[in-house]
Structure 1
């Protein structure tokens, strides 16, 4: 096999006994203009030579790089893992490769990644924002690169983010908890000011809980000592009143579950519901009730807006997965 670093399009053409133009068509999305035997010869020659087309060069010539960029706030977050997986699969089905950039919730790193993606001639960018990189996003749009926001809004950008219907998610959670007989609720979230989705869910909880007559109790930090103290005090002061905790996202659900374990709180007797499904939620005690995001539908909508300029739905309903953590002793299972 030839050295792939030296293999050229001309060498592929020579080995396949065809023209440079035919090889170029094969690798530029026009292979349907070639006969099946010719396609087979080019494919075999390219494999033997270890040839790979220069997508960057093709993008510079205006043929399209077939590259998409995705910037996520924290690649370790279960939301990011599920979102990247769904977007990558949807992009692959459309013939695109995905470049994923992790910002570690650092706005400066986010700006650098966006500038780097512009240099790579990506054909579109999906952004799960950590900050407000308005200058970089406006620069991308000015160059004709479409941008779609995922989950989080950016105040300076006139574009609705594609993601979960946050208001509906909170409403469904409250419906379920109230239907299961819980009367006192604690809402737990991490730093709501850092993400628009967290702020929206917190505001909806406060508004709707007050209208339903629930005492409104919230905690906006996941700092372990504060969480343990708050949760312990909350459950002790409730006395005989059925109490439950609503977690704003997967990160909060993990922290609260750890606190439940440390305080030896019985799941179900003290209710627990998390927004976002996690693989381990079915394995803890009687199982943790969650509201699962439809990541495949969200990814398809993001790609449609990015590549097809379609006015697809922006917000999607979650799916309730009822488990034992919201089943009080002596009560029947909730309907799915």
Structure 2
């Protein structure tokens, strides 16, 4: 039976070659070996069930082949989708991904950054939950490239890859206006820790004013939904002479507002509902919820291409786009 603890020396002995040749076979000098020797080593490794310790090899040679990723909230559907895109792109370049979830906790964020530094990651994708500028400066000063995902960090000079937030809000309001809605309530999670939420909220007020829309804002809290339900009811009552719609700033807000619609018995379409970020279940709630979908795979690929350009410029050019347009997915919730 093959042993899971087979050693490099055992593989060399079975293949009838040296330990150095086996090491070259599993390393970056693979092409220096003859085809017949490579076949013997591969057969011996297969027979013994040998697997090289890539972590140890990487640390010894100064190349861990690891990319670190810091995610603000792994439960957020955007985080799940974007992590998939980043991981796919890593594999294309022969790298493995180490993901750490900070749960929007700045202290966990600091601890995870220390952990990723200990793993000697070759690059770091950061979806920040706090303001870890000091730690990021330290990591960058050690030669580790960083890309910021979706959210920027004050005083950290790095590419920020993500959605064009101004364009997303403009597209949403243009769609709602075209559908005949005259009053729009913008619903968002607390914006303090997220530059993305701040930009979308600020742009909403500007764009709604420009279009002459009646508008207001509802900021969700972690408490029970009674206050949010009352604020939505008040908004509709205050604008009962107008066609009203609700625009949700992200996927979590869309889920919360969909629950409020059900609690209040509101008819989707008669009262419009639209969300920034596409969610799998949005197509399943009759008559379907209109969303702006993010090209998460393209965003993830661009983030990794930015890192690869810093790590190995000869294998990847800097991407031409780091700010992406959303795609409108129109469904019945915005059809009056």
Fold match, TM over 0.5? yes
* 1:124 and 1:145 in contact (8 A); partners too: yes
Deviation at 1:61, TM superposition (A): 2.6
Taking the aligned partners of 1:249 and 1:201, their CA distance within structure 2 comes to: 10
> 1:240 matched to which residue of 2?
241
Alignment map for 1:108-127 (pairs within 5 Å)? 108-127=107-126
Deviation at 1:89, TM superposition (A): 1.2
| Secondary structure of 1:239 counterpart | coil
> 2:327 matched to which residue of 1?
319
Moved over 4 A (4+): none
| Secondary structure of 1:274 counterpart | strand
Aligned residues: 327
> 2:219 matched to which residue of 1?
220
Taking the aligned partners of 1:67 and 1:110, their CA distance within structure 2 comes to: 19
Taking the aligned partners of 1:36 and 1:324, their CA distance within structure 2 comes to: 61
> 1:287 matched to which residue of 2?
288
| Secondary structure of 1:193 counterpart | coil
Taking the aligned partners of 1:93 and 1:17, their CA distance within structure 2 comes to: 34
| Secondary structure of 1:61 counterpart | helix
Deviation at 1:2, TM superposition (A): 4.5
Q: Give the RMSD, CA atoms, in angstroms.
A: 1.6
> 2:4 matched to which residue of 1?
4
TM-score of the aligned structures, taking structure 1 as reference length: 0.93
> 1:144 matched to which residue of 2?
143
Gaps of 5+ in 2: 311-316
- Structure 1 pair 160/305, CA: closer, same or farther in 2 (3 Å)? closer
Deviation at 1:57, TM superposition (A): 2.4
**Higher relative contact order (CA closer than 8 Å, sequence separation 6+):** 2
Residue range with higher mean Cα deviation, 56-65 or 204-213: 56-65
Gaps of 5+ in 1: 329-336
* 2:81 and 2:297 in contact (8 A); partners too: no
TM-score of the aligned structures, taking structure 2 as reference length: 0.93
Taking the aligned partners of 2:35 and 2:81, their CA distance within structure 1 comes to: 38
* 1:132 and 1:156 in contact (8 A); partners too: no
